[in-house]
């Protein structure tokens, strides 16, 4: 199963994805980590390089029967379509999960108070976040709003929402 997470920096996406992957004992593919390592190795990351690596690694692991949690901003229809294509290539079910923080003040506080968890990684500023282009999700994803919630509460929201999708996931496999 491929769990495709997306959302702006600072909404709690990586915290939620990391906890979910740990609970599921799934592979966690984080685009920030991949792109940072590529930059450290001297590669210019100016386009889809990190995503392209992640799609291929996801397929390899899905074909082994492992669950994969993809963690990225995932701002474009193109990137979301590529994640779905990776799942299809591996003949694996998938679910798209958009993480949001509907409280703008809380979102801004999170962005401005974050500390990089990847040594040497440059975090985006609030201005970077609000200027980022995000295309509409089609089809509509599962939405998890982290505003006013602890990571544990958001994780419980995610598990409840996924429990309600069991029938849909089974349908996608048939």
Instruction: Say whether 42 sits in a helix, a strand or coil.
Output: coil
Res 6 pLDDT > 60:
yes
Q: For the chain, which domains are there? A: 2-173 (3.40.50.300)
| Cβ pair 23, 155 in contact under 8 A | yes
Instruction: Show Cβ contacts of residue 88 under 8 Å, excluding neighbours closer than 6 positions.
Output: none
DSSP assignment of 83-109 equals HHHHHHHTT--EEEEEEE---HHHHHH
Lowest-confidence pick of 63-67, 119-123, 143-147: 119-123
Classify strands 27-30 and 68-71 as parallel, antiparallel or unpaired. Answer: parallel
How confident is the model over 34-50, as pLDDT tens digits? 999 999 999 988 888 99
- Assign 173 a pLDDT band (cuts: 50, 70, 90): very low
Instruction: Show Cβ contacts of residue 113 under 8 Å, excluding neighbours closer than 6 positions.
Output: none
- Assign 22 a pLDDT band (cuts: 50, 70, 90): very high
Instruction: Say whether 143 sits in a helix, a strand or coil.
Output: strand
pLDDT of residue 119: 84
Mean of pLDDT over the chain: 92
Per cent of the chain over pLDDT 90 is 83
| Cβ pair 111, 8 in contact under 8 A | no
Enter the pTM of the model: 0.92
pLDDT of residue 166: 62
How confident is the model over 87-138, as pLDDT tens digits? 999 999 999 999 999 999 999 999 999 998 888 888 999 999 999 999 999 9
């Amino acid at each position: 199963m491929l769990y495709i997470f997306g959302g702006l920096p600072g909404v709690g996406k990586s915290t939620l994805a990391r906890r979910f992957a740990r609970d599921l004992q799934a592979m966690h593919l984080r685009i920030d980590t991949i792109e940072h390592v590529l930059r450290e190795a001297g590669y210019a990351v100016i386009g889809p390089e990190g995503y392209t690596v992640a799609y291929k690694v996801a397929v390899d692991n899905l074909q082994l029967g492992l669950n994969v949690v993809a963690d990225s901003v995932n701002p474009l229809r193109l990137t979301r379509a590529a994640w779905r294509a990776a799942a299809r290539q591996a003949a694996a079910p998938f679910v798209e999960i958009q993480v949001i923080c509907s409280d703008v003040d809380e979102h801004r506080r999170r962005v401005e108070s974050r500390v990089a968890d990847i040594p040497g990684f440059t975090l985006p500023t609030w201005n970077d976040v609000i200027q980022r282009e995000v295309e509409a999700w089609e089809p509509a994803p599962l939405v998890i709003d982290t505003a006013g919630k602890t990571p544990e509460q958001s994780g419980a929201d995610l598990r409840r929402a996924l429990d309600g999708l069991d029938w849909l996931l089974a349908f996608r496999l048939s």
